[in-house]
A and B are shown apart, each in its own frame.
Chain A
Amino acid sequence: MKALCALLAGVAAMSLGAGSARAWSLEEAAKPYKGVTINVVGLDRPSYKIAQKLTPEFEKATGIQVTWNIFPYEDTLKEETLNFVSNSQQFDAILSDVVWPVNFADPGWVLPLDHFTGDSALADPDLDMKDFFPVWLASFTVNGKLYGLPFDSYAGLLYYNKSMLKAAGFDGPPKTWDELAKTYAPKLTDAGKGVYGYALQSARGETQTADAFARFLWPWGGRFIDVANKKVLVNDPKSMAGIEFRHALLKTMPEGIVSDDHSQVVEMLSQKRVAMITEWSAFYPTLSSSPIASDLGIAPEPKGPDGAYAAFGGFSYMVSAQVDKQHQDAAYLFIQWLTSKAMAKPLIEGGAVVARQAADTDPATQAKFPNLAPMVETWRTSVVPDWRPQLECYPRFSDIVSDWGSRIELGQVEIKQGLDSMANDLTGYMKSSDCWGKSNDPEKAMATYK
């Protein structure tokens, strides 16, 4: 394995024809940073578990010490923002959700990656940017510059219980949302027995905004905002159609879904209390070790009237601009190693999801991990990088969406009234925080990477 790496690196170096006299190696590159301790932010999710497990390999090869700082997702942005605002230099490798790059890049808190990739002493010639899925690179590109290396990358997938579907007379999963709601879910729901067709994680916070709201905008042609015309679109007829659809779907969901987060719906599927959920591709290891492992079916998310737009989310690693050069370089070496082509396979084998094309499309790996094929298909055909808008004021923006989104789902307000209020609050906030001028359009970057 190591020999192969070295060989590949050598080949890459030769083919690049760069002026470097000898092949690049991590050991060699890390020499000046021996003994440096870097702080890395992580989540309590499978990708980071295996990453932590593999970290000693990096420490052994480089002499750089890695400290993992694990936070619950809902606290991560808070911790990182406070770290930057207070310039407390707690973290060297910064974890960025797909909706945060502009928050970190605009104030200059993180460094653009060309800062490192242009440095032949640091840059691994075998980094092979083209091997990352284009949509992932685009997502972390702000004003034409790439800031993050993708890690823990998700696509929304439909997970279902094959036996339950079969018992209800279905040979395969639903292809469209319409089918799911009108044909599948009613037949699979038996409220008296506490069994339901579908469950949608809707807890207050980013789960409500991303999983429960955005998921029902795009497939119906709805959008959050139109930056060019400075318009909020959450209450236009197309968006409303999607949210109305969501509301009708509640009949086939367990009660109290509005308080349920990822862990609860996954639990429901694995306890056979629901037949279908739409969840991130990262949940495969959790579900494959649950009681329904042998019944687990995985498919791309259903299409809507306006086409296929699956949920899109995930993370990348960036380097803090506030720490000293030693730590920056050491952190870069770490994230470069973690997201490298060579690491992709061991990471996947350990339960991670990565955005590396070669590893994700490898037939042998795909045979072992049935979440990969639909995930790759989704990334290639049915995701948009601005599925949630990239705004500097996104935290409050998302909070407003989540606030009215849950009120609508709880039935505390009429759908139209709720969406109008949401639009009203968003419009006011976008204006008062001067946020229209502080947005990023990752879609523009797509062309660069395709």
Chain B
Amino acid sequence: MSDLTIEDPAPQMPAVRPSRWEALEPWFFIAPSVILLLAIGLYPTIYTAVASLQTWVMGMSPPAWGGLGNYAHAFTSSDFGGAVLRTLMLIVVTLPVELVLGMMIALALDSPHFSTLRRLLQICLVIPIAITPSVVGLLTQLMFNEQLGIINHLIHGLGFPAIDWLGRPAAAFGTVMVVQVWEWTPFVALVLSAALSTVPKDIDEAALLETERWWPRFRDIQLPFMWPGITAALVFQTAFTIKEFDMIYSIERGGPGTATETAVMQIERMAFRGFDVGLASAESILMLVLSIALARVYIRVFYREMD
């Protein structure tokens, strides 16, 4: 999102005619972090890329050249494909829901009245963001338990039949989505609420004089100021979801069956339960390509739109 900063003619140090030394100066500041990230990020990535071309099952056989066999297997196995698809599904379904709900919360926080309630909510919104995801997973296990969970008890109290939240594949995936929405909607709401606070008071007041209907006001005044926030929320959410492991793993390790297994979980299973380092590496590289592609798309498409 700092792309904006990069584009805008931000004040910079008065540059005397840049000498060669001058050109190196910024790198003096940047180099330590780049070296560190290269060592802990790039080196392992290359290692993984090499391993992805090897037939290598930990403990069974030493690494041997395997060509593109691992990639062929990753592409054809329903196991990995399914996990990637589920991960994308998770993004496609939960993101819009989080955006809509987050927007509603942000609007409610922006309106007058109930100032104490609003302040309280503003503080509480941070809780789901901060709470440890493995704890959220455990709580889900407890609260959504079919027989003894509080959720089914409440549903029953309202006159609906109990639902086997975690036992059926579709329901379990739905449960994961619900929890994901619980965990991250507050984040979206906070970001959008901050964006909403950038709407200049005078413009808003002038608009209010013209019409009191909320839709035109939202569409013409508030929404344009919220686009940057929406974009920020999208980028962060996509990153969080594509990396998702902790919370879902803690519910039931991706079960029932593989109904809630994400791509990262599937790769972890291949690498550290099946010990197939070659295959897991190939799958990791594919995920890396996917995430870089997504990052590029976001940055190109959304940030272009803004300027």
| A interface residues (Cβ-Cβ under 8 A, vs B) | 74, 77-78, 81-82, 84-85, 103, 107, 109, 194, 203-205, 255-260, 271, 273, 392-393, 395-396, 399, 403, 406-407, 409-410, 412, 432-434, 438
Measured CA separation A393–B58 after assembly (Å): 10
A204 in contact with B258 given A84-B59, A107-B59, A255-B167 (CB within 8 Å) = yes
A256 in contact with B257 given A395-B274, A438-B60 (CB within 8 Å) = no
A188 to chain B, nearest CB (A): 17
Contacts of A433 in B (CB 8 A): 57, 60-61
1/0 per residue, CB under 8 A from A, across B159-184: the answer is: 00000101111001000000000000
A119 to chain B, nearest CB (A): 28
A403 to chain B, nearest CB (A): 6
Of B248-256, B282-290, B299-307, which binds chain A?
B248-256
- Whether B298 is near chain A, meaning CB under 8 Å from some CB there, is no
A102 to chain B, nearest CB (A): 10
Q: Could you pull out 21 A-B pairs where Cβ atoms are within 8 angstroms? A: A82-B272, A84-B59, A203-B255, A203-B256, A204-B252, A204-B256, A256-B167, A258-B257, A259-B255, A393-B60, A396-B57, A396-B274, A399-B274, A403-B258, A406-B257, A407-B257, A410-B256, A410-B259, A412-B169, A433-B60, A438-B60
- Whether B201 is near chain A, meaning CB under 8 Å from some CB there, is no
B286 to chain A, nearest CB (A): 19
A218 to chain B, nearest CB (A): 23
Measured CA separation A203–B69 after assembly (Å): 31
A255 in contact with B258 given A399-B273, A403-B79, A434-B61 (CB within 8 Å) = no
- Whether B146 is near chain A, meaning CB under 8 Å from some CB there, is yes
Residue of B nearest to A74 (CB): B253
Measured CA separation A271–B147 after assembly (Å): 11
A406 in contact with B273 given A84-B59, A194-B147, A412-B169 (CB within 8 Å) = no
A396 in contact with B257 given A256-B164, A259-B167 (CB within 8 Å) = no
Contact partner of B167 among A258, A399, A407, A432, CB < 8 A? A258
B251 to chain A, nearest CB (A): 9
Contacts of A392 in B (CB 8 A): 59-60
1/0 per residue, CB under 8 A from A, across B123-163: the answer is: 00000000000000000000000110000000000000000
Contacts of B269 in A (CB 8 A): 399
Contact B274 A255 (CB under 8 A): no
Measured CA separation A82–B275 after assembly (Å): 9
Measured CA separation A260–B167 after assembly (Å): 8
Residue of B nearest to A86 (CB): B58
Contacts of B98 in A (CB 8 A): none
Give the top 5 A-B pairs by smallest Cβ distance, nearest first.
A256-B167, A406-B257, A259-B256, A396-B274, A258-B256
- Whether B244 is near chain A, meaning CB under 8 Å from some CB there, is no
Contacts of A109 in B (CB 8 A): 59
Contact A259 B166 (CB under 8 A): yes
Measured CA separation A399–B166 after assembly (Å): 21
Residue of B nearest to A81 (CB): B59
Contacts of B58 in A (CB 8 A): 81-82, 85
Measured CA separation A412–B168 after assembly (Å): 11
1/0 per residue, CB under 8 A from A, across B78-122: the answer is: 010000000000000000000000000000000000000000000
Since A204-B254, A406-B257 are in contact, a sample of 12 more A-B pairs with Cβ atoms closer than 8 Å, ordered by chain A residue number, is: A78-B272, A81-B58, A85-B59, A204-B257, A259-B167, A393-B60, A395-B274, A396-B57, A403-B79, A403-B258, A406-B258, A407-B257
A256 in contact with B146 given A81-B58, A406-B256 (CB within 8 Å) = yes
A193 to chain B, nearest CB (A): 12
Contact B257 A403 (CB under 8 A): yes
Contacts of A409 in B (CB 8 A): 257
1/0 per residue, CB under 8 A from A, across B267-282: the answer is: 0010011111000000
Contact A259 B258 (CB under 8 A): no
Contact B60 A256 (CB under 8 A): no
Measured CA separation A271–B259 after assembly (Å): 28
Measured CA separation A410–B256 after assembly (Å): 8
Contact B259 A203 (CB under 8 A): no
1/0 per residue, CB under 8 A from A, across B56-71: the answer is: 0111110000000100
Measured CA separation A81–B168 after assembly (Å): 33
Residue of A nearest to B260 (CB): A259
Measured CA separation A433–B64 after assembly (Å): 12
Measured CA separation A118–B257 after assembly (Å): 47
Contact B272 A406 (CB under 8 A): no
Contacts of A410 in B (CB 8 A): 168-169, 256-257, 259
Measured CA separation A432–B169 after assembly (Å): 31
A103 to chain B, nearest CB (A): 7
Measured CA separation A255–B60 after assembly (Å): 39
A273 in contact with B147 given A81-B58, A103-B59, A433-B60 (CB within 8 Å) = yes
Measured CA separation A89–B95 after assembly (Å): 46
Contacts of B257 in A (CB 8 A): 204, 258, 403, 406-407, 409-410, 412
Measured CA separation A257–B172 after assembly (Å): 13
B28 to chain A, nearest CB (A): 38
Residue of A nearest to B146 (CB): A256
Contact B275 A395 (CB under 8 A): yes
Measured CA separation A51–B255 after assembly (Å): 32
Residue of A nearest to B167 (CB): A256
A318 to chain B, nearest CB (A): 15
A259 in contact with B252 given A81-B58, A204-B257, A403-B257 (CB within 8 Å) = yes
Contact A204 B253 (CB under 8 A): yes
Contact B252 A203 (CB under 8 A): yes
Contacts of A432 in B (CB 8 A): 55, 69
With most chain A CB atoms within 10 A of its CB, the pick from B164, B168, B275 is B275
Measured CA separation A77–B269 after assembly (Å): 12
Contacts of B147 in A (CB 8 A): 194, 271, 273
Measured CA separation A85–B56 after assembly (Å): 12
A260 to chain B, nearest CB (A): 7
Contact A257 B167 (CB under 8 A): yes
Contact A396 B275 (CB under 8 A): yes
B89 to chain A, nearest CB (A): 16
Residue of B nearest to A405 (CB): B257
